[in-house]
Structure 1
């Protein structure tokens, strides 16, 4: 792994979460933002696993994209050693599945990770069974599929933004939690996409960004990228959300999600559930923006979504300074689940879905 410090780079470059360049995965280390803009050149699968696990790359779509490229890095150096090309392809398919199994252990909650890995598995399996596809072509197609996942995500995010913007008006205040912007996706983001499009169209939407304890993705990432883009953004502490709602400063809430269950329950960064309850209490619509790949119809309700628990030091000694007594017991879930009853609408690339989610979410896949 090599490091490229681009602290003096342009705004547009700083907002690229990851890209494939010169046969390596170039990835923005988001744990260092906003003070340092540092790109890592990842050339091995274990480096991608570490980047996902340590949240150097984060956000469900970006995690999935990184994992797809990670599979390719895991098999790139695999060599054909059998005389029979079909045997070489079967061996490569086996290596693809082993690489995907390994990357699947990096983080448990974001369904895009498993969706992207399954898509790479399917591509490899198809090529392994196709007598017209050579071993070298099969390997090249794995990389091409990862690139395609990234390209599709960029277009998906733009469409989500266009649909979400129809729910907003010039001059309104919108609150968001965590980071579901360009740093979490290929480009634009999901929940933040309408803010970028609004600015392009001359609309002024005032964004309130929760700091998002304990890792401060709202403060370090959302506030950073929106400020850099010239979007009107105000940073608030998580426990101020109810106050700004009560003062009429917020007319809508929009967040991303790491997994949507079949009934419309959504898992998102810890604190989202509290925001949803507050929004309902104040009569404010609560919107969830996500690509179809985040909707998991195989998970009936939020009760079945695995919730990642992270290191206690994120709470007791975040960013190198201890703020809690030694030996204190800590509970640090990274996500919570917001019941579908609090979700006004789910915004996807195919349009806006409203309750009943059990009935309407499956229609997106027809």
Structure 2
């Protein structure tokens, strides 16, 4: 099953409210740029590729709602819209990548007038969506052969269709291998504190009929020790030039465990997630989210009132712990510094 996570309909951006899953399937209608910004910040939409697609539609919405009478004013409005959207989730590089691409497209057709910009930006947003979907399938094709014959894969957070245009990054090799008739069993980390694994990945795998076992995050080491995990595949929100990977908090711990247990640790992400301008993971900004997401689940307090809680949304996995990076342009292995730069020349 392929979902459409975000789309354009009746002069608005529509998206699945991922905070309501798995119990309620609800579509959010974003009729203003502020609604799109809120959807990204509040995690109604999440996952780096899906955020990029949403931001692109948000830029198209901002253009169509602008009252600018000339291209120069509209371009200024779009720069402001870009700044607003970029500020919502600073770790996910796809966000700024998508808004920058939309601005470049607007600048390219500005000489043709305001209406040309508005038309071109909606077409560009649709192109970003279509490219993302094709990218996911290509990641699946490149990554499926890496899954060992028994097919026991552990994954963290949600890097499936909900995190992309509709097929997934980390789940793409799993989906593709399963579609090829290969044996697959997925160990799904619940992914505290926002429970993207328990709420979203488990739901997606159920919809697709792929066998799975949901585990709490602190069970992963035990599963590896018992020999139940053949490989680990995770997504990424940003990959530095040296191959350091920023992903959902808890990813680094899995990479350390994988190294100890001699288990391949793969990162699946689109080329747009690679940030060659960031030398290493030490330069990646780590988003700090509301501590209430740690002290509460679904609005219910699970910790004493007044307790201090930390909530870094991401951690950074050093490139030394990454077996390979799977992109739509192929599989990249160490040394990453040269290999990732070489990807730039590939179609």
Per the TM superposition, whether the score is higher than 0.5 is: yes
CA distance in 1, matches of 2:279, 2:80: 28
- CA positional deviation for 1:80: 5.3
What is the aligned partner in structure 2 of residue 286 from structure 1?
A: 265
CA distance in 1, matches of 2:243, 2:78: 32
| Alignment check: 8 A CA contact 1:204 1:232 kept | no
What is the aligned partner in structure 1 of residue 207 from structure 2?
A: 228
- CA positional deviation for 1:102: 1.0
Q: What TM-score, normalized by structure 2, do the two folds share?
A: 0.97
- 52, 74, 83: which one aligns with 1:92: 74
What is the aligned partner in structure 2 of residue 17 from structure 1?
A: 5
What is the aligned partner in structure 2 of residue 277 from structure 1?
A: 256
The residue correspondences of 1:58-97 to structure 2 (distance < 5 A) are: 58-79=46-67, 81=69, 88-97=70-79
- 33, 37, 45: which one aligns with 2:33: 45
The residue correspondences of 1:178-217 to structure 2 (distance < 5 A) are: 178-217=157-196
CA distance in 2, matches of 1:80, 1:254: 46
Which 10-residue stretch deviates more, 156-165 or 88-97?
A: 88-97
| Alignment check: 8 A CA contact 1:162 1:194 kept | yes
Q: Which has the larger radius of gyration?
A: 1
| Alignment check: 8 A CA contact 2:152 2:187 kept | yes
Gaps of 5+ in 2: none
What is the aligned partner in structure 2 of residue 127 from structure 1?
A: 109
1:110 aligns with 2:110: no
What is the aligned partner in structure 1 of residue 20 from structure 2?
A: 32
SS of the counterpart of 2:28?
strand
CA distance in 2, matches of 1:140, 1:323: 49
Matched positions, count? 345
Q: What TM-score, normalized by structure 1, do the two folds share?
A: 0.92
SS of the counterpart of 1:117?
helix
CA distance in 1, matches of 2:222, 2:286: 28
CA distance in 1, matches of 2:78, 2:178: 42
Q: Which runs of 4+ in 1 moved over 3 A?
A: none
Gaps of 5+ in 1: 1-10, 82-87
Aligned-residue CA RMSD (Å): 1.1
What is the aligned partner in structure 2 of residue 157 from structure 1?
A: 136
1:358 aligns with 2:337: yes
- CA positional deviation for 1:166: 1.2
| Alignment check: 8 A CA contact 2:148 2:230 kept | no
